[in-house]
Structure 1
Amino acid sequence: MLASNFNTIQNHFLLEETQKLIKLEIIDQNQYEKIKKEIITTKTNSNILVRIGFFLLGNFLISIILSTYTLFLYFGDNFKIYGSYLFILGILGVFISEILRNKKYFSYGLDDSFILSIPLFFGTSIALFTESINLVFITIILTSLISTIRYVHTPSVFISLISFTSYMGYLVIEKKIIPFFLFPILFFILALVIYLLLFKIEQHIKYFIYKNVIFTAKIFSVLLAYASLNYFLVKELSNILVKNKLSNTEEMPLATLFYIATFFIPIFYIFYGLKIRDRIFFCIGLLSLGLSFETIRYYYFLPTEYVLLLTGIILFIIVYFSIQKIKNNTKGITFKEDKSLNPMTFDLIKAILINTHVNASTAIIQKSPIEFGGGDFSGGGSGESF
């Protein structure tokens, strides 16, 4: 199922890792350019604005195809025929995506639009054919997951996870597969399972080309774990989805658990992120901690000026003493730039250096403190002074 341009995509990510060798002064810029010329890599837009531009261009092309298609093939209110047309357009999206893959386009923008159209067209087609919500969710989840694996496509994994989470919510709310008060706990377990699965996948070097896919999925799972047990989200969703609405002063079932989780999870994220030096956990922990305080403010009023003043004082104290404590650290938690290579790619980068005949050994010429000639020290008498 994996795209046949596995090696070119792998070379694209390895070149990103090889750039760190320049910072480490193992190779220079000329040697890097030599490596870049000799290995085959993908056609990629590193500029996000250019990539968005090509993505919009791809959407424009798809809209032209769709409008032309419906202009000549109009059948009134017969939605099943339109479903068959959308199914054909989904196949066309797969065909064009395969052409772009063979041309070695990767994260270019144009390929993104056609890859994302695949679950859209197939999902809409199934909806018009069957009117089954179950089949629509399953179709979108599977097509997005296949696109993620086949084209190493990061946005598709996000769509797949969103669809899967929404489908689980639909089963709980509409089909009532479990009691509603267990709904948040189910989502927390789901987030935990997703993260552990990603952790296992991340250990294998052959999955290195999916590093951005795994990164996106990890962010989703970490955010889902916090959101599933946040007191504000749980209570407000309960008010929306069930008939018996609770006022701000009334407590819901398991309220103590959700209050504790609302603050414990962000603090755990912060300390765990610092311990394993994981930026995802640390940044999301800080963000979610702020949301936790805002949750309490929503139910227990505190004037805005006091909140801003107290928050500013606390943050200043924490940041100031943290910087003073760790700014000169060379190990563990530090402000110094991390120039280490990804251990999963070390052997592959070494093979690239050997195959491209790049000498990665840096000759360091040390200047002797004992100068000869001029009579400074050992050369006494060879100059005009002794």
Structure 2
Amino acid sequence: MIAYDKTLLDNTYLVEEANNLKKSGFIDSAQCKTITDNLPTLNSQNNLLIRFGLFLLGCLLYSSICGMISLFAISFGQDTYKILIYCFSFIGIAGLEFMSRQNKQLGYGLDDAFLLGAQMLFFVAIGISTNENYLAVFITIAIVSTISYLRYLHLSSALLACIGITGSVAYLMFELGTLGKSILPFVMIVFSVLLYFLSEKALPRLKFPYYSKGIQLANGFSLILFYLSGNYLVVRELSILLLNNSIPATQEIPFAYFFYTFSFIIPVFYLIYSLYIKEKQMLWIGFLALGFSIYTIRYYYHILPVEVALTVGGLILFAFAYFSIQRIKHKENEITFLPDRFSNSNSLFNTELLMVTAQFGIKPEVETETSPMEFGGGGYSGGGSEGTF
């Protein structure tokens, strides 16, 4: 199923782990160099700026190929554009297969352009062929993106697969009419819970480590979807949009107290439970969800002026951070404030040092090399440092 050579793929992940261990201080540069020199890997691009540049180059190349074919196909009439879109999609897959097998590229930039271009064109072709049947389009997105991720291991395909599955469930509920749209928040809550537990069960049972990042992405996607499905602002605004009802500001939606409670309990639960299970992804999602919950309340109820609310909120966060740091800064296990060995804890210090150096022209102190010949003592043939013969 995987398009890449299994040996090169294994080596690529081993080299990536070796680089992470070197950055964390578990192995030195010599050991890391020994590993990287002895293991041939796939062609990947870790520099995001260069990868984005190659992505743009790939988009230009792909569009040039499609444009050249379009020029030759004009003479066949305007009705051929439906077939051409399918052809363009297959051309993108063919180019991606060539890059994966012959050029051995994984996450290089060029392959990203061909994969995303082929997928988007195929989705557009399905939409045109089905007269904009969104349910068919989202089902196609879910199936094609899942197969693409299983074969090419691009995280963009994993994200599209999550969006496609979620959209398919939503449009299935739309087919039920007003009843389906009314119970949509509860259905999405149940769906996100199922997706979370499926991803949690799948992670420890993986036979291949290649798919771990995609499953972690699906795990984070389920946490975000679970919160947004019960957020008061999202539910209220979507109710107005989907049911074509104008709800006055003084009128509440059904189950309003449930959605109010949900909007604040879930972020707090994310924060507490993530600290309990030591899950960093859930912790960050919890912080973002809590901030969006505060925005949700302020969107409808302006209790305090903006400047007062920001000041009070800043003081509360400062107090919470200060006392938390004082409590855990000397702990060496569980929840601790000690630097993470898998992150570059000196990055801020290095940035500050660079700014000071650039501002004041401070140059690092250079130690002069000492001469290998030691002087002093002068014991013969003339006066030395002691003035003796």
Give deviations 1:300-329, integer Å, cap 9, x for gaps: 112102211110111011000011111121
Ranges in structure 2 where 5+ consecutive residues have no aligned partner: 343-389
Equivalent residues of 1:118, 1:143 under 8 A apart: no
Q: Could you tell me how far apart the structure 2 residues matched to 1:248 and 1:122 are?
A: 43
- Is 2:83 aligned against 1:84? yes
Structure-to-structure mapping, 1:98-177, within 5 angstroms: 98-102=97-101, 103-131=103-131, 132-176=133-177
Residue 326 of structure 2: aligned partner? 324
- Is 2:65 aligned against 1:65? yes
Q: Partner letter of residue 273 of structure 1?
A: S
TM-score (norm 1): 0.82
Q: Could you tell me how far apart the structure 2 residues matched to 1:134 and 1:182 are?
A: 18
Identify if the C-alpha distance between structure 1 residues 6 and 186 changes in structure 2 by more than 3 Å, giving closer, same or farther.
farther
Q: Partner letter of residue 108 of structure 1?
A: Y
> How far apart are 1:92 and its partner, in Å?
1.5
Q: Partner letter of residue 14 of structure 2?
A: L
Q: Could you tell me how far apart the structure 2 residues matched to 1:329 and 1:257 are?
A: 39
Equivalent residues of 2:12, 2:42 under 8 A apart: yes
Q: Could you tell me how far apart the structure 2 residues matched to 1:197 and 1:92 are?
A: 35
- Is 2:33 aligned against 1:33? yes
Indicate the percent of aligned positions where both proteins have the same amino acid. Answer: 37
Q: Could you tell me how far apart the structure 1 residues matched to 2:239 and 2:180 are?
A: 12
Q: Partner letter of residue 61 of structure 2?
A: L
Q: Partner letter of residue 256 of structure 2?
A: A
- Is 2:250 aligned against 1:249? yes
Q: Could you tell me how far apart the structure 2 residues matched to 1:76 and 1:175 are?
A: 40
- Is 2:335 aligned against 1:333? yes
Give deviations 1:207-232, integer Å, cap 9, x for gaps: 32123222322221111111110001
Identify if the C-alpha distance between structure 1 residues 338 and 15 changes in structure 2 by more than 3 Å, giving closer, same or farther.
farther
Equivalent residues of 1:201, 1:207 under 8 A apart: no
Structure-to-structure mapping, 1:1-386, within 5 angstroms: 1-22=1-22, 27-74=27-74, 75-78=76-79, 81-102=80-101, 103-131=103-131, 132-176=133-177, 178-301=179-302, 302-339=304-341
CA RMSD of aligned residues (A): 1.9
Q: Could you tell me how far apart the structure 1 residues matched to 2:160 and 2:179 are?
A: 25
Give deviations 1:233-283, integer Å, cap 9, x for gaps: 100111111132212221111111111110011001111111111111111
Q: Partner letter of residue 240 of structure 2?
A: N
Give deviations 1:173-224, integer Å, cap 9, x for gaps: 3443953221111111111111211112211342321232223222211111
Q: Could you tell me how far apart the structure 1 residues matched to 2:26 and 2:271 are?
A: 34
Identify if the C-alpha distance between structure 1 residues 330 and 176 changes in structure 2 by more than 3 Å, giving closer, same or farther.
same
Aligned length: 338
Q: Partner letter of residue 6 of structure 1?
A: K
Equivalent residues of 2:268, 2:290 under 8 A apart: yes
Q: Could you tell me how far apart the structure 2 residues matched to 1:116 and 1:21 are?
A: 32
Equivalent residues of 1:2, 1:149 under 8 A apart: yes
Q: Partner letter of residue 119 of structure 1?
A: Q
Rg larger for:
2
Give deviations 1:148-175, integer Å, cap 9, x for gaps: 1101110011112112222322222344
Equivalent residues of 1:97, 1:114 under 8 A apart: yes
Q: Could you tell me how far apart the structure 1 residues matched to 2:244 and 2:96 are?
A: 46
> How far apart are 1:133 and its partner, in Å?
3.4
- More moved, 246-255 vs 21-30: 21-30
Q: Could you tell me how far apart the structure 1 residues matched to 2:62 and 2:212 are?
A: 29
Give deviations 1:50-79, integer Å, cap 9, x for gaps: 11111111111111112212222125542x
Q: Partner letter of residue 40 of structure 1?
A: P
Equivalent residues of 1:171, 1:177 under 8 A apart: no
3-state SS, counterpart of residue 65 of structure 2: helix
Identify if the C-alpha distance between structure 1 residues 278 and 142 changes in structure 2 by more than 3 Å, giving closer, same or farther.
same
Relative contact order, higher structure (CA 8 A, sep 6+): 1
Q: Partner letter of residue 22 of structure 1?
A: K
Q: Could you tell me how far apart the structure 1 residues matched to 2:221 and 2:181 are?
A: 23
3-state SS, counterpart of residue 262 of structure 1: helix
3-state SS, counterpart of residue 208 of structure 2: helix
Identify if the C-alpha distance between structure 1 residues 25 and 180 changes in structure 2 by more than 3 Å, giving closer, same or farther.
closer
Q: Could you tell me how far apart the structure 1 residues matched to 2:55 and 2:46 are?
A: 13
Residue 354 of structure 1: aligned partner? none
Identify if the C-alpha distance between structure 1 residues 250 and 51 changes in structure 2 by more than 3 Å, giving closer, same or farther.
same
Q: Partner letter of residue 109 of structure 1?
A: G
3-state SS, counterpart of residue 183 of structure 2: helix
